[in-house]
Each structure stands twice: as C-alpha cells, then as structure tokens.
C-alpha cells in the first residue's frame, strides 16, 4: 500500500488500463491499495510528491478498515481520513524544507496509528516464510505451523496485508521474474519460468500478462531501471 501527496496540484489522475485517454480524478492526497493489476500513471504528476510506501502488512494500523478493502483501489485520502487529509497537504505545502515535510508526514501517520501496531504473529511468520525465495514454502506448509484454521489464516492475512496468501505468493513470484529479467542476462524464458516456480511456460505467460498487461518479451524490450515501471507502448 502507498500513501501519496501531490504537492504540485491538488489532483491526481488514475487512468483507464485499457484506454489511457480516459481517467478519473482524485484529490491530491490519495491512498493506493495493494495492487495485483497494472495501472497507468502520469509521470508529469510525479514532479513534486511525498509519500509512504508500506511494507507488506505495514499499513493496516493507519487506516482503520482492513487492508483488503483497499485492494486494487485508488482513493482520495479524505475518504479515509476526512478533513485531516486536506490539512496534511496544506501543512506540507507550508513547510519550508524537505526535512520539515517529512516531520509533518510522520507526525500525521503517528496521529492516525491505532494499536496494535504489530502484525498478527501468524501474518509475520507467513511473510517471513514466503519471503524466503530459496524455499518458497507452500501455503499449506505455513498453515500447518501457525495454529489457525486455513479460513481464519486467509482472513487475518488479507485484513493486514491486503491480499490473500495465494495471491500474495503469485505477486511475489512475478516480482522474482522481474528481478531475474533486470539482471540483464540472456533470457531463456522456459528456464526463467521453471526457476521462478511456474509449472510451464503457458502458466508463466498467463500470470505475466495478468499482472503487467504485457507479454514477457514486450516487457523485456521496454523495461527501465525501475522494474515495476515501463513506458506506455504505442
């Protein structure tokens, strides 16, 4: 999840994934939920921004609603924080230095924090297990060790992380592929698919398109130093 404040104008545009000529507008302070689909941004809006990019399971104490409620959403922050969102942006604009802006941002986050700030022990354990790219344990293997029913574990994980465990692991696997591509070596797609845990190349291509909107070869041809950003293709 990401909290972003546009300091240039009190507006942010969220573009239609299939037709970038269409967009919806939010206020300049917005909350971006955990994403499992690609979305289109306007780089011109990135000229002056401040924000917080939360680690998995790190945002839930600050927004009251379960993180899963924000899945694939882009929302004006005032829908979640009310007038505090506008006050935050006004104070950020008045601050004279970057250090001052970050201080204000931190104070606002802490003011909205609700306890407990720590993740549920089962969620922390699962994130640690899923984060081990060498072992890539199954969800069933993790569930067997945490003392919760499968249904309860899925609910707690989704509430705090914003994705179900299965979808979280799919996104992680896709991110592993992007890092592999980013290494700049000659690519053997079949080898990449197998090394990153896909059953076959068809499974690999399906997930890649679902998350990025591109084929692996199209992504590789247009990738930038930022693994999760590629320019709009004509």
Within 13 Å and on the Cβ side, how many CA atoms surround 220?
17
Domain 122-222 has CATH 1.10.10.60: yes
pLDDT for residue 65: 93
Contact call for residues 52 and 15 (beta carbons, < 8 A): no
Backbone angles phi, psi at 40, to 5 degrees: -110, 130
> Which helix (H) or strand (E) covers residue 48, if one does?
none
Closest CA to 33 of 1, 78, 65, 58: 1
pLDDT for residue 189: 92
> Which helix (H) or strand (E) covers residue 161, if one does?
helix 150-161
Task: Report d(CA 108, CA 117) in Å as an integer.
Answer: 15
Residues in the chain: 234
Contact call for residues 48 and 8 (beta carbons, < 8 A): yes
Per-residue pLDDT of the chain (234 residues; tens, 9 = 90+): 999 999 999 999 988 888 888 898 999 999 999 999 999 888 877 889 999 999 999 999 999 899 999 999 999 999 999 999 999 999 999 999 999 999 999 999 999 998 888 999 999 999 999 887 556 677 888 888 998 899 999 999 999 999 999 999 999 999 999 999 988 778 899 999 988 889 889 999 999 999 999 999 999 999 988 899 998 765
pLDDT for residue 134: 59
pLDDT for residue 161: 97
Collapsed DSSP state (helix, strand, coil) of residue 138: coil
Task: Report d(CA 145, CA 37) in Å as an integer.
Answer: 30
Could you tell me the pTM of the whole model?
Answer: 0.90
Task: Report d(CA 56, CA 124) in Å as an integer.
Answer: 9
pLDDT for residue 131: 81
Q: Where in the chain is the domain with CATH 1.10.10.60?
A: 122-222
pLDDT for residue 233: 62
DSSP assignment, residue 163?
S
Beta bridge partners, 15, equal: 23, 40
């Amino acid at each position: 999840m990401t909290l972003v404040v546009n300091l240039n104008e009190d507006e942010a545009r969220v573009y239609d994934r299939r037709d970038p000529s269409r967009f919806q507008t939010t206020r300049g302070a917005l909350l971006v939920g955990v994403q499992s689909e690609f979305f289109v941004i306007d780089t011109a809006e990135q000229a002056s921004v401040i924000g917080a990019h939360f680690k998995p399971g790190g945002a839930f104490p600050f927004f009251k609603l379960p993180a899963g409620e924000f899945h694939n959403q882009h929302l004006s922050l005032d829908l979640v924080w009310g007038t505090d969102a506008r006050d935050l942006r006004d104070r950020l604009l008045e601050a004279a230095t970057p250090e001052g802006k970050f201080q204000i941002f931190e104070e606002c986050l802490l003011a909205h924090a609700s306890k407990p700030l720590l993740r549920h022990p089962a969620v922390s354990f699962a994130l640690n297990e899923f984060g081990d790219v060498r072992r890539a344990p199954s969800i069933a293997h993790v569930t067997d060790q945490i003392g919760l029913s499968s249904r309860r574990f899925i609910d707690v994980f989704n509430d705090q992380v914003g994705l179900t465990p299965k979808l979280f692991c799919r996104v992680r696997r896709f991110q592993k592929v992007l890092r592999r591509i980013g290494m700049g070596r000659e690519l053997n797609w079949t080898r990449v698919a197998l090394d990153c845990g896909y059953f076959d190349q068809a499974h690999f291509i399906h997930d890649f398109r679902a998350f990025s909107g591109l084929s692996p070869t199209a992504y590789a041809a247009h990738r930038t130093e930022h693994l999760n950003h590629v320019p709009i293709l004509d």
